[in-house]
């Protein structure tokens, strides 16, 4: 029996558009067409706990909390007590009937420090006993719910000690409208798909630039300097632009970050960093959902390339995959087409077609990572099979990618 699982992770943001939590979705190879928690039997509860334990909650969530959907069987199961209350929130699905036993179970979980949320909720007197002190977050589907009904419900909930979360936020207009209605938390493809985000352009945190300056001044190894660039999508992009500035007319195409560093030279790089440090944005760039996505995407593609039937035979493929992952986000940061970004950089053909057409082996991996980000787990499983990978491979690579991103917070 195949006991492999795919893990989907969608960010939950605050009013400053900073990541504060994630919703987790698990899907098994035995039930790829539906969410893994659909029947919520005792067996499902045990398997969910096993996959969380095996995957590593800290690696998946870092410093944030994770929310998991639960039906009544899972909610009432003693096995759920194994989950760390300080890291996990439970989303009570809308089909749960409010009984005295359910209320008492919520009191027990709340006393242990667990956050409780009502998923896809509509106001009901039946839930009054939960609203006042037991429920922390109420999630509203802001697309499906009629606007006049949404206004009515948000007005009702302002008297309760709960945070309102707008889910299915799929455009800036919906996001701004939700903010105006009093929502404090937000979730949806508007944030998970960075092409829909129009906000301040990405800058490097001061910490990354100071780290680079320190390493350059200490004559650190090329390996150490390369690792600093790998932490920052914007820094990598600026490095490629710098290459074009100092190596005009260069015939050789850029293949990796290390290749670009070699072309620029550490002397030129040190001068450039001294200027860049003064232009740094000191905001918390790592809380930007797109930076979060870029870091995980690049690290995941890097690991998958080492296992890809074709790419694994090419010595630089993992570095190329990492670069594709980083650059694939930048069109949305800078608001210009990918073809225009690529035309301004002297990239190898494999990287160009992966970014612009999402074709070739690197493009294949890019499509796979995007499916995982958008929780299209059934389509992702099909592509994994077509590529010749296994679900175990992807699970292991996801774990490394999540952990790597958290390592430089």
Are 170 and 49 part of one and the same domain?
Answer: yes
Q: Mean pLDDT: which of 199-203, 337-341, 388-392 is highest?
A: 388-392
Domain limit, last residue, from 192, 214, 241: 192
| Partners of 22 in beta bridges | 11, 66
More confident residue, 373 or 163: 163
Q: Is the pLDDT of residue 391 over 70?
A: yes
Q: Among 193-197, 226-230, 294-298, 329-333, which stretch is predicted with the lowest mean pLDDT?
A: 193-197
Q: Mean pLDDT: which of 204-208, 316-320, 387-391 is highest?
A: 387-391
Are 363 and 221 part of one and the same domain?
Answer: yes
More confident residue, 159 or 80: 159
Q: Which pLDDT tens digit goes with each residue over 57-95? A: 676 777 788 898 888 888 887 767 767 788 889 999 888
What pLDDT was estimated at residue 21?
92
What pLDDT was estimated at residue 215?
84
More confident residue, 340 or 183: 183
What pLDDT was estimated at residue 146?
87
Q: How much is the average pLDDT of 228-248?
A: 72
What pLDDT was estimated at residue 304?
96
Q: Which pLDDT tens digit goes with each residue over 312-347? A: 999 889 988 988 888 887 776 666 678 877 876 678
Q: How much is the average pLDDT of 362-383?
A: 91
What pLDDT was estimated at residue 198?
29
What pLDDT was estimated at residue 115?
94
pLDDT band (50, 70, 90) for residue 407: low
Are 181 and 227 part of one and the same domain?
Answer: no
What pLDDT was estimated at residue 405?
63
- Whichever domain contains 17, its CATH number is 3.20.20.450
Are 366 and 282 part of one and the same domain?
Answer: yes
Q: Is the pLDDT of residue 108 over 90?
A: yes
Q: Which tokens go with 106?
A: 């919520």
Are 154 and 210 part of one and the same domain?
Answer: no
pTM of the predicted structure, to 2 decimals: 0.59
Domain limit, last residue, from 192, 220, 237: 192
Q: Is the pLDDT of residue 32 over 70?
A: no
Q: Is the pLDDT of residue 290 over 80?
A: no
More confident residue, 131 or 249: 131
Mean pLDDT rounded to a whole number for the chain: 78
Are 185 and 204 part of one and the same domain?
Answer: no
Are 165 and 246 part of one and the same domain?
Answer: no
- Indicate the number of domains in the chain: 2
Q: Which pLDDT tens digit goes with each residue over 127-144? A: 989 998 899 999 999 988
Give the C-alpha separation, 74 to 44, whole Å. Answer: 8
Residue 11, phi then psi, degrees to nearest 5 = -70, 150
Tell me if 121 sits within 8 A of 94, measured CB to CB. yes
- Whichever domain contains 350, its CATH number is 1.10.3210.10
End-to-end CA, the chain: 38
Are 95 and 205 part of one and the same domain?
Answer: no
Are 51 and 91 part of one and the same domain?
Answer: yes
Give the C-alpha separation, 375 to 370, whole Å. Answer: 9
Are 118 and 210 part of one and the same domain?
Answer: no
Interior/surface letters 269-289, b for 16+ CB within 10 angstroms, e for the rest:
beebbeebeeebeeeebbbbb
pLDDT band (50, 70, 90) for residue 192: low
User: Which domain, by its residues, includes 75?
Assistant: 5-192
What pLDDT was estimated at residue 208?
76
Domain limit, last residue, from 192, 209, 241: 192
Are 185 and 278 part of one and the same domain?
Answer: no
Q: How much is the average pLDDT of 269-280?
A: 57
Are 369 and 258 part of one and the same domain?
Answer: yes
Q: Is the pLDDT of residue 102 over 50?
A: yes
Q: Which tokens go with 140?
A: 């509203």
Q: Which tokens go with 184?
A: 């404090």
Contact residues for 192 (Cβ-Cβ < 8 A; gap 6+): 10, 11, 289, 293, 373, 374, 375
More confident residue, 127 or 194: 127
Q: Which pLDDT tens digit goes with each residue over 250-268? A: 667 788 888 888 888 887 7
Q: What is the share, in percent, of the chain residues with pLDDT greater than 90?
A: 25
Nearest to 189 by CA among 172, 168, 174: 168
């Amino acid at each position: 029996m195949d006991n492999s699982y795919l893990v989907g992770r969608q960010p939950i943001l605050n009013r400053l558009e900073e990541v504060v939590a994630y919703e987790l979705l698990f899907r098994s190879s035995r039930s790829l067409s539906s969410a893994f928690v659909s029947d919520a039997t005792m067996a499902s509860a045990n398997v969910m706990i096993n996959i969380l334990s095996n995957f590593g909650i800290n690696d998946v969530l870092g410093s944030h909390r994770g929310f998991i959907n639960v039906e009544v069987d899972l909610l009432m199961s003693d096995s759920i007590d194994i989950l760390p209350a300080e890291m996990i929130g439970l989303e009570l699905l809308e089909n749960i009937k409010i009984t005295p036993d359910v209320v008492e179970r919520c009191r027990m979980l709340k006393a242990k420090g667990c956050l409780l949320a009502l998923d896809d909720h509509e106001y009901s007197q039946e839930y009054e006993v939960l609203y006042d002190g037991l429920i922390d977050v109420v999630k509203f589907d802001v697309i499906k719910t009629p606007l006049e009904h949404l206004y009515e419900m948000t007005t009702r909930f302002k008297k309760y000690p709960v945070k309102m979360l707008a889910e299915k936020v799929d455009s800036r207009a919906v996001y701004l409208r939700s903010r105006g209605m009093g929502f404090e938390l937000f979730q949806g493809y508007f944030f998970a798909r960075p092409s829909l985000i129009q906000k301040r352009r990405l800058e490097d945190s001061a910490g990354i630039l100071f780290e680079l300056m320190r390493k350059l001044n200490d004559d650190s190894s090329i390996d150490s300097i390369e690792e600093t660039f790998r932490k920052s999508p914007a820094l990598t992009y600026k490095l490629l632009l710098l290459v074009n500035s100092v190596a005009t007319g260069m015939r050789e195409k850029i293949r990796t970050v290390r290749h670009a560093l070699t072309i620029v030279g550490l002397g030129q790089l040190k001068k450039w960093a001294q200027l860049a440090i003064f232009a740094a944005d000191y905001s918390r760039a790592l809380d930007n959902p797109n930076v979060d996505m870029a870091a995980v995407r690049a690290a995941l593609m890097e690991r998958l390339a080492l296992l890809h039937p074709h790419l694994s035979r090419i010595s630089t493929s993992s570095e190329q995959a990492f670069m594709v992952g980083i650059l694939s986000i930048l069109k949305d940061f800078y608001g210009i087409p990918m073809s225009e970004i690529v035309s301004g950089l002297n990239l190898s053909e494999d990287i160009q077609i992966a970014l612009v057409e999402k074709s070739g082996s690197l493009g294949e991996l890019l499509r796979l990572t995007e499916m995982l980000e958008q929780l299209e787990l059934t389509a992702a499983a099909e592509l994994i099979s077509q590529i010749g990978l296994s679900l175990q491979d992807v699970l292991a690579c996801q774990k490394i990618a999540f952990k790597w991103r958290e390592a430089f917070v």
